[in-house]
Amino acid sequence: MSDFRLTILGSSGALPAYGRFTSAQHLAIRHHQFLIDCGEGCQHQLRRYDLSPQKINHIFISHLHGDHYLGLTGLLFSMHLQRRESDLHLYSFRGLEEILLAQMKHARSSLNFKVILHPLSDAGPELIFEDDHLTVQSFPMDHKIPTCGFLFREKPRSRSLDKSKLTPGIPVEFMSKLRSGEDIMNDQNEVIYRSDDYTLPPRPSRAYAYCTDTQPSDGVLPIISGVDLLHHEATFMEEEKVKARETKHSTAAEAAKVALQAQVRKLIIGHFSARYKDLNVMLNEARNLFPETYLAQEGEIFEIAD
């Protein structure tokens, strides 16, 4: 099983329909478990697919349309009832705090864990999370209200030691320097161990981009360029393109065009309008332009191999 794994919890647009839930995704990268959007019924889906809410420490809410956050209050209260103690980081546009506090005020309730709010901005790309192995970047979408997409990217990795080239005479303290690409010099400033001679190239860093409610935007192309996996909303088909422009959404063909222009490896489309029962017609429309397209259906798992 890959340590970079996306599970689709909800794929529907504004309304749940035909067994499809509203927007929510679970992303596991190494020791992190992230939740991306939290539509109605999200906690039911987490349990359905055996994903522990208590292991989620970061929740990213793309925008404040209800189909992307209405499951959040219930999830937070369930975490509380299960005696969560660890901090929860919540990334959202301003206004969500007011919504959550109003519900807690009238329920005369409070949480027994700390929620740390990180405000998003649609002014431009922004680094919103970073640790030793990973960065998360937000970037603006083109929708009816302020909306962000998210880019999850591994940091460049170290080179690995080529065990077939190592000799007993190499001091252990030199190993980490060689792995970082550093040559070992003697007192005469001569190279005695060259990194390229004793190490293998680093494995490529992996990346996932989440482009939720938006009409196509050229501004996202340099940000998502070359990612391993792209989720791009595809609310409508081309026959409803006028409706897509009115509501600032994308068609399946437009999502495929974005994937093609950004030269991504694999595309998944989601956020489907309730008017479509058979999603294969949307899949075919996208695959006509970008063959490596897949449906973001509930329970589907997409892994990025190491």
Q: Which residue has the higher pLDDT, 153 or 178?
A: 153
Average pLDDT over residues 84-104: 95
The DSSP code for 131 is -
Average pLDDT of span 146-165: 85
CB of 219 closer than 8 Å to CB of 262: no
Instruction: Decide if pLDDT at 4 tops 80.
Output: yes
Catalytic residues: 67
* The pLDDT of residue 99 is above 90: yes
For the chain, what is the mean pLDDT?
93
d(CA 172, CA 191): 17
Identify whether the C-beta of residue 1 lies closer than 8 Å to the C-beta of residue 303: yes
Determine the Cα–Cα distance for residues 61 and 38; give it in Å rounded to an integer.
Answer: 7
Q: Report yes or no: 282 and 252 within 8 Å, Cβ to Cβ.
A: yes
Helices marked H in 82-151: 96-107
CA 269 to CA 252: how far, in whole Å? 7
pLDDT band at residue 28 using 50, 70 and 90 as cut-offs: very high
Domain residue limits, the chain: 4-157+203-303, 160-199
Residue 275 has a pLDDT of 96
Name beta bridge partners: 5.
28, 303
- Closest residue by Cα to residue 122 from 238, 213, 190: 213
Query: Is the alpha carbon torsion for 125, 54, 116, 62 positive or negative?
Result: positive
**Residue 200 banded pLDDT, cuts 50, 70, 90:** confident
Q: 41-50, 57-66, 199-208: which has the minimum mean pLDDT?
A: 199-208
Has residue 171 got a pLDDT over 80? no
pLDDT band at 178 (very low <50, low <70, confident <90, very high): confident
Distances, alpha carbon 131 to alpha carbons 30, 104, 135, 220, in Å? 12, 32, 7, 24
pLDDT mean over 205-221: 96
Q: Are 302 and 42 in contact (CB under 8 A)?
A: no
> Residue 231: pLDDT above 80?
yes
Q: How many residues in total does the chain contain?
A: 306
The CATH homologous superfamily to which domain 4-157+203-303 belongs is Ribonuclease Z/Hydroxyacylglutathione hydrolase-like (3.60.15.10)
Average pLDDT over residues 136-160: 93
* pLDDT tops 70 at residue 1: no
pLDDT value, residue 176: 72
Residue 201 is predicted with a pLDDT of: 74
